[in-house]
Amino acid sequence: MSIVSVENLCKNYGSVQALNSVTFSVPKGSVFGILGPNGSGKTTMLGIIMDILKATSGSYTLFDEVPDENSRRKIGTFLETPNFYHYLSAVRNLKITAAIKERGDKDIDKVLEMVNLTERKNSKFSTYSLGMKQRLAIASCLLGDPDVLILDEPTNGLDPVGIAEIRQLIKQLHQQGKTIIMASHLLDEVEKVCTHVAILKKGKLVATGNVNEILANDDIVELGAPDLEKLKAVLKQLTGYSSIREQDNLVQLFYPAGTTNLENINRFCFKNGVVLNYMQLKKKSLESKFFELTN
């Protein structure tokens, strides 16, 4: 079952195309990251899914059905900076939120416990740190026990401690069976929390799939020999690597992380008449992979 399926979604603001024929699906039970630099269309995408914005063209479904009010009531959303009454406590603010949503009034103590705010539930919102404000916003999303959460930049502006708290909370919610769709411009956040990802660049989808496949570290083996052309010809007969390229008078072989065997490569080259004068194993960082996709 797909929680959200997006098909050729486009959104134009005059001459600016914020989304350009984007297609992807969010599997049930996943933590799905929508990743991209600022201005890539992440917030626009979430706004369309929640019917805050209208798409220029294309379509989408929720829970494999045409979206309606009932399907959206199954989703808890956090799309903006937390906006509560500063002079009211967490409990009072959540009571107001529950009344607006017409659901979740009996869940207030439960959701405050889930986001670790029970001890400060009677404190005024104005006394909260930014991390506490973000957690209260997530608590408001949890009112009514929705199956799905949509979070737009949930760690935005937080210090390392606050980021770690939100990450841990997202992991706990995922373990409880909730599907979480999360927009972020932080590669590290998505890599550590998400199971699946869609990467946007200037409104275009550049990659989507399992995080471990899309954002996998590559092993890079750099090889040198007196006759570079012969080395390249021999290496074309070698199996196991995903791609090959020449750079700075060296040949680079790209392998899935952890699958490289330098001894076998050296032996293969020697048996085929090539004596290597240079061999080095490097790691291709996640940052490099991300910048390669988005630049």
Residue 240 and residue 271 in one domain: yes
Q: How much is the pLDDT for 72?
A: 87
- pLDDT means per 10 residues, the chain with 295 residues, are 93 93 96 91 93 94 91 87 88 94 88 94 94 92 93 88 90 94 89 92 91 77 93 92 87 84 93 93 69 68
Q: Give the CATH number, domain containing residue 56.
A: 3.40.50.300
Same domain as 188, residue 54: yes
Both 160 and 253 in one domain: the answer is no
Q: What is the pLDDT of residue 283?
A: 67
- State whether 227 and 199 are in the same domain: no
**Strand residue runs (E) in 121-258:** 148-152, 179-184, 196-201, 204-210, 218-224, 243-247, 250-256
Question: Which residue among 160, 195, 214 closes a domain?
Answer: 214
Report how far residue 20's alpha carbon sits from residue 22's, in angstroms, rounded to the nearest whole number: 6
56 and 73 share one domain: yes
Residues 97 and 80 in one domain: yes
Q: Which two tokens stand for residue 58?
A: 């294309």
Is there a single domain that holds both residue 135 and residue 280?
no
Structure tokens at 72: 């959206």
Beta bridge partners of 205: 200
At 156 the pLDDT is: 86
Number of domains in the chain: 2
Range of the domain at 247: 218-294
Could you tell me if 196 and 250 lie in one domain? Answer: no
The reply to whether 114 and 243 lie within a common domain is no
153 and 17 in a single domain? The answer is yes
- Residue 295: the pLDDT is 66
**Domain edge (last residue) among 199, 214, 229:** 214
Structure token digits, residue 138: 């997530």
Question: What is the layout of strands, in order, in the sheet containing 250-256?
Answer: 243-247, 250-256, 218-224, 278-284
Same domain, 182 and 280: no
pLDDT at 9: 95
- Quote the tokens at residue 255: 């392998």
Boundary of a domain, candidates 214, 246, 266: 214
Each residue of 53-66: pLDDT tens digit? 999 999 999 999 99
Q: Note the pLDDT of residue 292.
A: 66
What's the sign of the alpha-carbon dihedral 291, 45, 3, 170? positive
Q: How far apart are CA 231 and CA 224, in angstroms?
A: 8
**Which pLDDT does position 264 carry in this prediction?**
93
Q: What is the CATH number of the domain that holds 260?
A: 3.30.70.100
Q: Quote the pLDDT of residue 73.
A: 85
150 & 188 share domain? yes
